[in-house]
Amino acid sequence: MKKLTKLLIASAIAGSLASALAADFQTRIIRFGYGLAEDSNQGRAVKAFAQDLAQRTGGKFKAKGFASASLGNDNQMQNALLGGAQEMTVVSTATLVGIDDAFGIYDLPFLFRTEQEADAVLDGNFGRKLAARLEAKGLIGLVYWENGFRNLTNSKHPIAKMEDMQGIKLRVMQNPVYIDMFNSFGANAIPLAFSELFTALESKTVDGQENPVNTIQSSKFYEVQKYLSITKHVYSPWIVLASKKWWDGLNADEKKALQDAAVVSRDFERKDSRAAGAQALEVLKQKGMQVTVLSPKELDRMQDAARPAIAKFAASGHADLVKDLQAEIAKVRK
């Protein structure tokens, strides 16, 4: 049996190599920029992508990761892709609203109950159709990765109810849905690029921020934040993007290799991110963060308070989009 297994593995590898050799690949260097640290879930997934892509292309495609926003913040990297000065990036879908405001749909509060619901919607017809809109804007949306359910941190006091947010200077992404949502909770929402966030927290320019626990840990926000509130107010996806200017110069074999490697990285990243999430929460506690879990009743209050933000988004020309998403979620829940 062991001998047969070894033969099957050898055969599979040989088939993969033969397929790579038969395909038409040019030697290419891919600059893949991302915002988090190299040892974050983003960094690990970029490495997984690079390794898979190299194998698929017989070493012809070499993806090099640039961590910690070294190529610029999300908006700057998106612009670099639009101009063809950078090949790939992974960014929050929230930062895409400046390119296509329909992407604000993913920032509506309390949409998904579980990660599995989000997977089904993002990988299904709804997610694919929305990603396809980017091509007309100069970007290619390959796959969605998981950023995760977002939670609040601050340096002032524990937040156990909405009233505790009153007057908190809270950094949010440069996205009108987030601004409206947190203002409705009583916070003072301040839009700011992620690359500027740690310094803003350290200098007390802002009191708090909201991100998944993985990002809170990997970005070492525990060094400048004392209180963590588990709210899971938004499920936040990342999207892997390629420059359309660059993409259009690839042949069919090269595009397929990139797409297939992106799918492998998506599956790796989600599994890795979810395993790391539970561990990150324990690390944050060990680092001295005080954790408050909001009650279901309080989360219902927050959901009610956020309804005007959803209505405002729908009224801004996205009523059909909101209906489509709600229908897709209802279908998944059945």
Segment 25-64, tens digit of pLDDT: 999 999 999 999 999 999 999 999 999 999 999 999 999 9
In terms of average pLDDT, the best of 9-18, 200-209, 301-310 is 200-209
| C-alpha dist (Å) from residue 287 to 128, 208, 217 | 39, 17, 9
Instruction: Check residue 22 and give its pLDDT.
Output: 62
Mark whether 257 and 302 lie in a shared domain.
Answer: no
Mark whether 323 and 227 lie in a shared domain.
Answer: yes
Mark whether 300 and 241 lie in a shared domain.
Answer: no
Query: The whole model's pTM is what?
Result: 0.86
Q: Which range of residues forms the domain containing residue 191?
A: 151-234+280-333
Residue 9: inside a domain, yes or no? no
Mark whether 199 and 307 lie in a shared domain.
Answer: yes
Residue 1: inside a domain, yes or no? no
The first and second tokens of residue 157, run together, are 């006091």
Mark whether 142 and 285 lie in a shared domain.
Answer: no
* Strand order across the 28-33 sheet: 61-66, 28-33, 88-92, 235-243, 139-149
Residue 14: inside a domain, yes or no? no
- Which helix (H) or strand (E) is 285 found in, with range? helix 252-286
Mark whether 68 and 190 lie in a shared domain.
Answer: no
Mark whether 247 and 229 lie in a shared domain.
Answer: no
Residue 4: inside a domain, yes or no? no
- Give the count of alpha carbons within 13 A of 220, CB side only: 7
Report residue 142 CA to chain centroid gap. 13
Question: What is the rounded CA–CA span in Å between residue 229 and residue 291?
Answer: 6
pLDDT digits (tens, 9 = 90+) for 82-108: 999 999 999 999 889 999 999 999 999
From 279, 296, 311, give the residue that closes a domain. 279
Residue 164: inside a domain, yes or no? yes
Instruction: Round the average pLDDT of the chain to a whole number and report it.
Output: 93
The helices-and-strands tally (H runs, E runs) of the chain is 12, 11
Count of domains observed in the chain: 2
**CATH, residue 300:** 3.40.190.170
Helix axes 41-56, 252-286, angle to 10 degrees: 150
Residue 22: inside a domain, yes or no? no
Mark whether 265 and 245 lie in a shared domain.
Answer: yes
Within 10 angstroms of residue 149's Cβ, the number of other Cβ atoms is 19
3-state secondary structure of 59: coil
More confident residue, 20 or 89: 89
